[in-house]
Amino acid sequence: MTDAANLLKDHRDSIDRLDAILLYTLAERFKQTQAVGRLKAEHGLPPSDPAREARQIARLEALSKEADLDPEFARKFLTFIISEVIRHHEKLQK
C-alpha cells in the first residue's frame, strides 16, 4: 500500500470509530429524553419547552464555535434532534 492509502485507511478507521461513538451517544441521549417524555406525560406537562429548546440551541451554537464546528450546522443538527424528541413526547401523551 502507498503512504497515501495507509493514511486514508487510518483516517477512515478513525471516522468509523467516531461514527460509532456518535450513534451510541445519540442512543443514550434518546433514552434520557424518553424518560423525560414519560415523566411529562404522567404529570400532564407539555411535550415541548420552547424556552429550554432555545437555550439549548444557543448553548450548543456557542460550544460549536469553541470546537471549531460550523454553528449553523450545530443549530440544524440540534433542531432536528429536538423535533424528534418532541415527536416522541407527543406520542407518549396519546
What confidence tens digit (pLDDT) does each residue in 23-45 have?
Answer: 999 999 999 999 999 999 999 99
Q: Evaluate whether 79 touches 57 at the Cβ level (below 8 Å).
A: yes
Per-residue model confidence (pLDDT) at position 94: 82
Residue 1 pLDDT greater than 90, yes or no: no
Show the domain range for 41.
3-93
| pLDDT confidence band for 17 (50 / 70 / 90) | very high
> How many independent structural domains does the chain possess?
1
Q: What is the CATH number of the domain that holds 13?
A: 1.20.59.10
pLDDT digits over 54-78, tens only? 999 999 999 999 999 999 999 999 9
